[in-house]
Chain A
Amino acid sequence: AGAGSGPVPGDGAGPPATERVLFPPTFSVSEIKNKQRRHFMFLRWKQQQRKEKLALKKKRRKEREALGDKAPPKAVPKTIENQRVYDETTVDPNDEEVAFDEATDEFAPYFNRQTVPKILITTSDRPRGRTVRFCEQLATVIPNSHVYYRRGLALKRIIPQCIARDFTDLIVINEDRKIPNGLVLSHLPDGPTAHFRMSSVRLRKEIKRKGKEPTEHVPEVILNNFTTRLGHSIGRMFAALFPHDPQFIGRQVATFHNQRDYIFFRFHRYIFKSEKKVGIQELGPRFTLKLRSLQKGTFDSKFGEYEWIHKRREMDTSRRKFHL
């Protein structure tokens, strides 16, 4: 104990003898019973560690520079994206089969500009204020969309009516305990239905920004990181919500960014300050989605043919495996 507390700290007014450090004795900082002294010792130990680390870094950098060209390449840190388990359904940009599939699937008429998207947004029964406001904001973000109240109607009966009135997409926002927590996106003339879990919904007034509301211009769409086949089809579903011809005057962009199976939606207004710099300002709601299931036909929970369901036991086994 006597060997440990060499320079008695007093009230932590560090002794000027930090240079003439008296380590390494064979004690550890945790053996000192006095909390104040122990704390002080620990801080000093930490400082010393930091110094050593800095010195090591400098040395390494000097070695690099000394070697010049012969220096070994910089070590790339491992990230989850780097270590991602290779998914065999990753789409190769030149894959013909994929291109053929996409030319003949349910979105083909949209991508061939034969249909103009018209979207119906609705909620589950008895939506609370937050959900209602979210629906309204979503309706301003997506052009040519209409919000209708549900009033206890069965989805299976709504769908034929929607098809009759020429809607191309149906969005149902499910609500639980006054916050929206689920999204069902269904492409109407018997297109695929995707069911998402929605989280971290921020309404427009909760976003920190000082801009105005989105205008009526058609926004651009950015779809990031949808690599696998499944991701591709989901990406096309999202793209099919927006009209094909964005109005660049509006300078608005809606982004669906997929990262580790979470799809982040943001709505920004951009402005090009110069050739290499662009400024973006967030307006519009934001939310994140996680895909739960994808069905082939329109919404049908009992008899539908599921193309993909998230099965927790099988699919969540590895931390580096993602499906979208």
Chain B
Amino acid sequence: PQVVWSMLGNRQFCSYKMTTKTQNFCRNEYNLTGLCNRSSCPLANSQYATVREEKGRCYLYMKTIERAAFPRRLWERVLLSKNYEKALEEIDENLIYWPRFIRHKCKQRFTKITQYLIRIRKLTLKRQRKLVPLRRKIERRENRREEKALIAAQLDNAIEKELLERLKQDTYGDIYNFPIHAFDKALQQQDAESESESDAEREEEDDDDDEDVDKREFVEAEDSELSDFEDMDKLETSSEEEQEEEEEVEKKASHSKSKGKTPLKGPARRKRPHIEIEYEEETEPSTKTKAA
């Protein structure tokens, strides 16, 4: 009691005591408050009580002077009811005639314990976050492999190649006018009249790289390795559609606006002189067909 405290409390060593900068804590599992005080040290008080919980049930532990000689029977355990108010009453009736401090602290501790038990039960119902440990070696390995794969992929080149492929395979239809393509189209297109019409219209426009193609449906050419049968069918139908073109002449203003959207202006300007030269060549075949 008094002697014990004068030994352990401040002067000599207590293995349960943990000191921090501002406070001392008591690690004893029967401690009521968790602090290392004269009034809350289970070793230094011969009459002591705590509330502890085990597997979701709360027990009241009591220690009295009479049993101080029998360490095995020192702590007496009383099961508290699950009902909150009833348990409080049980604490009261068990700790009747005990000092106020211990009674009060026991009830406080019991309250806190029940609250955290409720929270545990609520949380387990919600989704649990599963923590998967990262393995450092594996992470490093994967990062390295990713970098190497990135270098090996040469993404820009691959994308450019794919886009040029699509251009060659005519998935873009008539939007982009390049000399060779225009010639091919001029030769291949069956409907001469529509072609001459379109040429005439094109002559009026100064620059018409992008026409309004909303009315046309283009097949999204997917993975060239897929070579979907469905898509192949659709490609053919779309090429038929191309021949029955309905073009809407875009004014230069709106067109320049759409050009304004694009970030690259240099190459766009470079395009125009190319196109102007084009038209002179194009009219020849059409006039030829007309004459014929």
Which A positions have Cβ atoms within 8 angstroms of B?
79-81, 91, 93-94, 99, 102-103, 111-112, 125, 152, 154, 199-200, 209-212, 215, 220-224, 226-227, 232, 235, 239, 242, 244-249, 251, 253, 255, 257, 259-262, 264, 266, 268-276, 278-281, 288, 290, 312
Contacts and interface: CB of A to CB of B under 8 A. Distances in A.
Contacts of A280: 156, 159-160, 163
B281 interface: no
A91 B225 contact: yes
B214 interface: yes
B213 interface: yes
B263 A112 contact: no
Contacts of B146: 199-200, 262, 288, 290
12 contacts: A91-B225, A93-B225, A99-B229, A209-B263, A212-B261, A239-B222, A249-B175, A257-B153, A257-B155, A270-B163, A272-B163, A280-B160
B191 interface: no
Interface residues of B, number: 56
Contacts of A235: 222-223, 226
Nearest to A250: B261
A24 B225 CA distance: 57
A93 B222 CA distance: 13
B267 A279 contact: yes
B261 A215 contact: yes
Given A276-B164, A280-B156, A288 B214 contact: no
B205 interface: no
B72 interface: no
A253 to B, nearest CB: 7
A255 B226 contact: no
B230 A278 contact: no
A127 to B, nearest CB: 14
Interface string B168-199: 00001101101111000000000000000000
Contact of A271 (B143, B152, B267): B267
Contact of B225 (A226, A242, A269, A288): A226
B121 interface: no
Interface string B247-279: 000000000001001111001101100100000
Contact of A290 (B142, B158, B181): B142
Given A200-B146, A220-B220, A269 B162 contact: no
A158 B264 CA distance: 43
Contacts of B164: 276, 278
Interface in B124-138: 126-127, 129, 138
Contact of B180 (A91, A222, A226, A275): A275
Contacts of A273: 267, 270-271
B218 interface: yes
Given A199-B146, A215-B261, A276-B164, A226 B223 contact: yes
B227 interface: yes
A249 B226 CA distance: 25
A275 B163 contact: no
Contact of B264 (A79, A112, A266, A281): A281
B220 A245 contact: yes
B54 to A, nearest CB: 31
A245 B167 contact: no
Given A199-B143, A272-B176, A274-B178, A222 B159 contact: yes
B283 to A, nearest CB: 21
B218 A245 contact: yes
Contacts of A276: 164
B262 A251 contact: yes
